[in-house]
Structure 1
Amino acid sequence: MDSVTSEVTTRQLRAELADVIGKAGYAGERVAITRNGKLAAIVIGPDDLELLESLEEAEDLRAYREAKAADDGGRVSLEELRTDLSR
């Protein structure tokens, strides 16, 4: 993860929470939180979260449009579905 700018352990996080929040919220840094030497979480600021959500929405819209374009209009009744699933 090249975009992570710093790393703290969960123990350090307890002592440095305000600093970590400042780095993420005001400086735009992405701070990795590790537990037992393994990545446990990433603290990001609101701008990064907004960007992530907009990217997810764009991907959802793309998938919807793709599925709609591929829809042949055929439908299966609930009874047909139950029959197929019980086989």
Structure 2
Amino acid sequence: MTTTTVSKARQHFPDLLNRASYGKERIVIEKHGKPIAVIISPEDLQRLEAFEDAVDSALLKRAMAQSTGFVTAEELLSMRPID
């Protein structure tokens, strides 16, 4: 994983996009030494979204198994760990 500053990211944005897209590199952009954004490939995004969907599906199955009846959306959402 590569880390760069906001100012360097502005200067080298096309290169960073190419490195993430074609080189499958993950690029962390920092401001004042703290990460504020990440550039990832579309494939990484798909994997992340698939993982989130799997977690949501598992939570739904758990809620349905624990339920004796109607489950509100609020109850379901309260079971999901906060990121």
Q: Which band: TM-score by shorter chain?
A: 0.7 to 0.9
For residues 14-53 of structure 1, the aligned pairs below 5 Å read 14-53=10-49
Give the TM-score, by structure 1 length. 0.77
How many angstroms does 1:42 deviate by?
A: 1.0
Structure label with greater radius of gyration? 1
CA distance in 2, matches of 1:31, 1:74: 44
In structure 2, the CA distance between the partners of 1:25 and 1:60, relative to structure 1 (3 Å rule), is: same
> Equivalent of 1:12, from 8, 12, 19?
8
How many angstroms does 1:74 deviate by?
A: 6.4
1:65 aligns with 2:61: yes
Deviations 1:4-58 (A, max 9, x none): x111100001110011001111111100100011111111110000000000000
> Equivalent of 2:51, from 52, 55, 62?
55
Unaligned runs of at least 5 residues, structure 2: 72-83
Which of structure 1's runs of 4+ aligned residues deviate more than 6 A? none
How many residue pairs were aligned?
Answer: 71
Number of the residue aligned with 2:81? none
Deviations 1:40-79 (A, max 9, x none): 111111000000000000000000000001111268xxxx
In structure 2, the CA distance between the partners of 1:15 and 1:70, relative to structure 1 (3 Å rule), is: same
